[in-house]
Structure 1
Amino acid sequence: MISKSKGKNLNIAYIGGGSRGWAWGLMSDLALEKKLSGTVKLYDIDYNAAYKNEIIGNRLYDREDVAGKWKYKAVKTMEEALIGSDFVIISVLPGTFEEMQSDVHEPEKYGIYQSVGDTVGPGGLVRAIRTIPIFVDIAKQIKRYAPKAWVINYTNPMSLCVRTLYETFPEIKAIGCCHEVFGTQKLLASMLEELEGIEGVDYKDVKVNVLGINHYTWIDKASYKDIDLFPLYKEFVNKYYEEGFEGTEKGHWMNNHFASANRVKFDLFKKFGLIAAAGDRHLAEFMPNSWYLKSPEKVREWKFGLTNVQWRKDHRQELLEKGDRLVEGKEEFILETTGEDGVAMIKALLGLGDLVTNVNLPNNGQIQGLPTNSVVETNALFTFDSIQPVVAGQLPTPIQNMVLTHIHNQETTLQAALSKDKGLALQAFVQDPLVNLTPEHASELFEKMLFNTQRYLEGWNIEQTVSI
């Protein structure tokens, strides 16, 4: 039970506290929020990275433009971070960019292209196998040292991370937090300006009903004030289907790995009648290989990009250098809101105003037709020390069937990882819609990818021969 009064003297445990992305974003959001203050304990397997963030975070305390006063402390054990924590934030990289290189690019040798490679597809499955043991350990330690804390996870594969937390510690108070739906709300706000001339719409005022699983979410109701947005969206899709829509950033998708022209969204609306509510890069990976990811040329036709892991490596080096400049005081930390709802969630759980936003939670009836306890994404109501998922209804049968395929595959992956069962993992691997290979080639690719990540597979019999 949260006992802190008015958001003061809070204790936050940050697992993955050496992060150069999410951690800096949290620092900025906390610094701009005047109603919260306290201590953030930073735990990371790279203690030096966490210690640098301690220095960076503490430099903010005395700045005049900082409203929220926080102390940062790097710690050497997860136990130290968790003891006494009111909230736990998780953002970790499971493995290194070398393993990610294999996840994303090894399948390309077999004609399988992935635009992200962290949730589904061959890369998502192998990443999950690395990630699940990490989250088993995190859940066990939370159970022992901070069983009443609220836990906010940002790590992918989101559904399986949250599912693992609850499988290991059923009483945990954990959610998965993802900003993909916000992007679709912003698109709908742009649509209102484009078609109706309504300027300055805050995406948070675009009300949507969210159903699905992380990165494969759908909207069946959308409104702004008294305007039903579905007829407008149909008009919008018809108008921009061929060229796509990017607002003022036309062509941005060609030089930004994370941008798109929303053509995949538009195509899925034409096919299924609901608004697909994630980025095109994610949505494409849930569909059959031939639809959007058949080749790099096909990807360009749909106007999104394949995120090359070398870019991530280069970007990481840039962030490392920036971190050193921040530590040495050679560069000023710029405060800007991230657009994430993490801090707003913390405020609501402390009783500082209710919040409705999309989150990932075990299914206890909020989506009909999907398995109980599978992790689904819907809206939820945050109030004092409480999160109640909003009953979202049921997906149309064609979409439900596609979602179920991925839910069952994720459950098979979870059981394979927990039991270290290579044969079961292969069965999940070959059933993914992106793996359009012969059984022989699928088994061959699976063996190569597991070999490349074997240092994270303690207790697995990697030498075991398995086949389909």
Structure 2
Amino acid sequence: MPKITLIGAGSVVFAKNLISDILQFPELSDATLALMDIDPARLETARVMTERVIRKLGVKARVEVFSDRRKAVAGANYVICTIQVGGYKPGTVIDFEIPRKYGLLQTIGDTLGVGGVFRGLRTIPRILEIARDIADVGAPGCTFLNYTNPMAMLCMAVDHAVGVPTVGLCHSVQGTSQQLAGYAGLDFDHVTYRVAGINHMAFFLDYKYRGQDAYPFLFKLLDDPAFTQDKVRFEMMRRLGYFVTESSEHQSEYNPHFIHHGKEVIKKFDIPIDEYLRRCESIIATWKKAEAELIGADGDIVVNPQTHEYGSFIIHSMETNTPRVIYGNVPNRNLITNLPHRCCVELPVLVDAQGLQPTYIGDLPPQLAAICRTNINVQELTVAAALTGKREHIYHAVMTDPHAAATLPLDKIWAMCDDLIEAHQKAGLLGEYAPVISNTGRTRAGTGDKVLVSLEPVKTLTALDAATPVEFVLTATNQGDKPFSGPLAIEAGPVAVTLGGSGSAAGGNTLALPVGPGKTVSKRIKLRPAASVAKGPFTVRVTSSDPRVLGHDYVFKERRLVSGAAAKTGAPVEVRFMDNKLLSAQLKLDGTVLELAGRVLDTAVKIDEGSPWTASAIELFVNSEHGSRLRQFFLLPREKGITVLNRERQPFGKKTATAAFKVKIDKGGYDFTLRLDLAAPGVEVLETGKPGAFFLDLIVAAGALGDAHSSCRVGWNGKLNSSATSAHYAFVIP
């Protein structure tokens, strides 16, 4: 006499079928049925319905009713789950309304996509509570039969977090196998099939009629203009070669090929947008009538023949050792060999007194495995978010969803997820998740809660003199939500430094710099080196005993000096990338006019005025001798149009002849000449009529270097993705 517990027994329509199926087996007719639901009214309806089914069948089963889940599970041999967390309102409505505001449409939204992700997030905690109750107080070997969606996510979470014997049950395999027989005009009694994949995206690897391949009947329907059913699934069969188990309305939101392509495609494939909302509203509107039919008039009740739901067959096989094959959702432990380990797969499962015994499939056809993996990615990330409490994995799950990724850019996906999280939390459907760095996919803890500290000299350094303190700007940004007060320590090498402008006793090398949460504070400090440094390298860094502090090093290096004489005759400038001369040029000075002429290797010249550093360009930096007038220019390699932009990416110098950049492009790159007046307005690195020393740096960005390399961005210092700082590379002395 097994004890069978139904969690979510208030899903009375489904519960009636399950209970009727179970009690129509003579060997199970004396079972104890424990009904549990959080809705007292629904639970009472379930009790009345169950007692009337028992009387109608004339069996000796017992009914127990519980509002306490743990008590309902205690001693159970089987636990059947049919819960829905959040209900139609607010749960399902939130899942549909917020994505719709962002332009993302859904049909069902209960298994994958953004609706499936958030249904999973609010359901996984409750499913794990049930599984832990089974582990703690269920009978030894108690089996968990889950009917709740999102099926794969929930079963995967149970396997990863608890590990009780679990099978996810869906009716799509048996339902679709009968549908296909109807479409093809076949007698289902002579149909055999083999199915494997993941829930709602398993495929009929074999579909046979009287032992012969029946797929030709199905492919013939593709050319029949009178056949207009199941358009999405038949289109997927046309492209993949195999028929998928779950309905067209589901399939349309599991891949990127339909909904987001617009009204014409939606109409062509008869895709019912918002279908699940309409179903829910219909059920709610007709519930009273359905309830009366469920419990029967005057105590009488209609008990239908056994359905094709697997739940009763599993229990009967395990209790009587009757071998059966059902299709179930189980952990992938080398069952489908080209799908991820421990994802949730749907395939044939042998059931007898030994329990659930999944069968080995091997490799799916590669195209089927590939499309399954796009869905598994979402499932795994949703489970990771639920089990770890990491908010970033919610974003990751939705950004990898095929339908969401095809419909929305990443910033909209992030904003939509934020709105969904907030709405779920306000409704009490989601707990707290670890915060992320704003508008990113990285947890704040350990990364976004740091205090970032940097040091930059007020003036560009050419040497360090022990007799002259050097003024730096110390900047600290507190990214966290807790205040920071220090201490900060200034370290240097190979020569030590002390704080203060006169003498080492002015303050040692530590200071306090209070910074509030989310704030940035800058402070000028003076550092006195213990000895003079003419060439470098010389490094100054900020450290702290507070582990939140992350400091940038300031490194003073020897400059490449270009004398006035060399600048007048022509000084070589070369930028190398691996074995290639990316830029080869001559630098000259004509009074206050900088001349640069040479060649850039670039076999795919392309221009982007909005983000010039991402395309083909020369970035030129000039600064005054004292480092107080840093200027940045983008030189665009094109033969017509604007060729010089300033730091704000505005055209510069063409009207006033302040700057002129001319190029001639060929297949291997481009030759160029530049003239830039360093004393002209907008530059003013030198004074008019007074040639003097200045700093110079450049970065070369190329679209491609032949067949060997794609785009690159290299500085004069030879570093990839280089960026200019106050430590410019060349010091030109006229």
Within 5 Å, which residues of 2 pair with 1:405-424? Answer: 405-424=374-393
Matched, 1:364 2:333: yes
- 2:177 is paired with a residue whose SS is helix
- Compared with structure 1, are the counterparts of its residues 395 and 74 closer, same or farther at alpha carbon in structure 2 (3 Å cutoff)? same
- 2:75 is paired with a residue whose SS is coil
User: 1:359 and 1:293 mapped to 2: Cα distance?
Assistant: 31
User: 1:32 and 1:317 mapped to 2: Cα distance?
Assistant: 31
Within 5 Å, which residues of 2 pair with 1:304-323? Answer: 304-306=271-273, 307-323=275-291
Contact 2:258 2:266 in 1 (8 A): no
Aligned match of 1:233: 218
Matched, 1:206 2:206: no
- 2:71 is paired with a residue whose SS is helix
User: 2:53 and 2:335 mapped to 1: Cα distance?
Assistant: 41
Aligned match of 2:266: 299
Matched, 1:70 2:37: no
Which structure is higher in helix share?
1
- 1:456 is paired with a residue whose SS is coil
- Compared with structure 1, are the counterparts of its residues 326 and 389 closer, same or farther at alpha carbon in structure 2 (3 Å cutoff)? closer
Of the structure 1 ranges 298-307 and 378-387, higher mean CA displacement relative to structure 2 is found in 298-307
User: 2:243 and 2:23 mapped to 1: Cα distance?
Assistant: 35
- Compared with structure 1, are the counterparts of its residues 298 and 71 closer, same or farther at alpha carbon in structure 2 (3 Å cutoff)? farther
- Compared with structure 1, are the counterparts of its residues 134 and 294 closer, same or farther at alpha carbon in structure 2 (3 Å cutoff)? farther
Within 5 Å, which residues of 2 pair with 1:99-118? Answer: 99-118=91-110
Aligned match of 1:161: 154
- 1:218 is paired with a residue whose SS is strand
Opposite residue 114 of structure 1, the aligned amino acid is Q
Matched, 1:457 2:430: yes
Contact 2:184 2:218 in 1 (8 A): no
- Compared with structure 1, are the counterparts of its residues 299 and 373 closer, same or farther at alpha carbon in structure 2 (3 Å cutoff)? same
Contact 2:4 2:32 in 1 (8 A): yes
Which structure would you say has the larger RCO, counting Cα contacts within 8 Å and 6 or more residues apart? 1
Q: How much has 1:467 moved relative to structure 2? A: 3.3
Q: How much has 1:293 moved relative to structure 2? A: 5.3
Contact 2:109 2:276 in 1 (8 A): no
Q: How much has 1:396 moved relative to structure 2? A: 2.1
User: 1:308 and 1:276 mapped to 2: Cα distance?
Assistant: 20
User: 2:93 and 2:381 mapped to 1: Cα distance?
Assistant: 24
User: 2:192 and 2:296 mapped to 1: Cα distance?
Assistant: 44
User: 1:294 and 1:431 mapped to 2: Cα distance?
Assistant: 18
Within 5 Å, which residues of 2 pair with 1:329-344? Answer: 329=297, 332-336=300-304, 337-344=306-313
Q: Which deviations, in whole Å up to 9, do the C-alpha atoms of 1:24-58 show, x marking residues without a partner?
A: 22123234333322111011122332232112211
Which structure is higher in strand share?
2
Aligned match of 2:418: 447
User: 1:326 and 1:184 mapped to 2: Cα distance?
Assistant: 27
Of the structure 1 ranges 436-445 and 82-91, higher mean CA displacement relative to structure 2 is found in 436-445
Instruction: Using structure 2 for the length normalisation, give the TM-score.
Output: 0.56
- 2:433 is paired with a residue whose SS is coil
Q: How much has 1:461 moved relative to structure 2? A: 5.6
Contact 2:325 2:348 in 1 (8 A): yes
**Long gaps (5+) in structure 1:** 1-8, 246-260
Contact 2:53 2:303 in 1 (8 A): no
User: 2:399 and 2:106 mapped to 1: Cα distance?
Assistant: 15
Within 5 Å, which residues of 2 pair with 1:6-25? Answer: 9-25=1-17
User: 2:12 and 2:402 mapped to 1: Cα distance?
Assistant: 33
- 2:221 is paired with a residue whose SS is helix
- Compared with structure 1, are the counterparts of its residues 330 and 446 closer, same or farther at alpha carbon in structure 2 (3 Å cutoff)? farther
Name the larger-Rg structure.
2
- Compared with structure 1, are the counterparts of its residues 223 and 96 closer, same or farther at alpha carbon in structure 2 (3 Å cutoff)? same
Q: How much has 1:157 moved relative to structure 2? A: 0.2
- 1:428 is paired with a residue whose SS is helix
Of the structure 1 ranges 376-385 and 399-408, higher mean CA displacement relative to structure 2 is found in 399-408
User: 1:192 and 1:298 mapped to 2: Cα distance?
Assistant: 26
User: 1:68 and 1:298 mapped to 2: Cα distance?
Assistant: 53
User: 1:149 and 1:180 mapped to 2: Cα distance?
Assistant: 25
Opposite residue 335 of structure 1, the aligned amino acid is V
Opposite residue 404 of structure 1, the aligned amino acid is R
Instruction: Using structure 1 for the length normalisation, give the TM-score.
Output: 0.86
Matched, 1:268 2:236: yes
Match for 2:202 among 217, 235, 242?
A: 217
Q: How much has 1:304 moved relative to structure 2? A: 4.2
Opposite residue 20 of structure 1, the aligned amino acid is V
User: 1:278 and 1:225 mapped to 2: Cα distance?
Assistant: 24
**Long gaps (5+) in structure 2:** 442-734
User: 1:359 and 1:174 mapped to 2: Cα distance?
Assistant: 9
Q: How much has 1:71 moved relative to structure 2? A: 2.3
- Compared with structure 1, are the counterparts of its residues 103 and 296 closer, same or farther at alpha carbon in structure 2 (3 Å cutoff)? farther
Aligned match of 1:190: 182
Identity over aligned pairs, percent: 25
User: 1:120 and 1:87 mapped to 2: Cα distance?
Assistant: 27
Q: Which deviations, in whole Å up to 9, do the C-alpha atoms of 1:298-323 show, x marking residues without a partner?
A: 33321342314254034134224532
Contact 1:206 1:222 in 2 (8 A): yes
User: 2:227 and 2:85 mapped to 1: Cα distance?
Assistant: 34
- 2:28 is paired with a residue whose SS is coil
Aligned match of 2:255: 287
Q: How much has 1:380 moved relative to structure 2? A: 1.1
- Compared with structure 1, are the counterparts of its residues 69 and 460 closer, same or farther at alpha carbon in structure 2 (3 Å cutoff)? same
Calculate the aligned-residue CA RMSD, in Å.
2.3
User: 1:385 and 1:67 mapped to 2: Cα distance?
Assistant: 30
Q: How much has 1:287 moved relative to structure 2? A: 0.8
Q: How much has 1:447 moved relative to structure 2? A: 1.4
Q: Which deviations, in whole Å up to 9, do the C-alpha atoms of 1:353-389 show, x marking residues without a partner?
A: 2211211000112211111111100111112232211
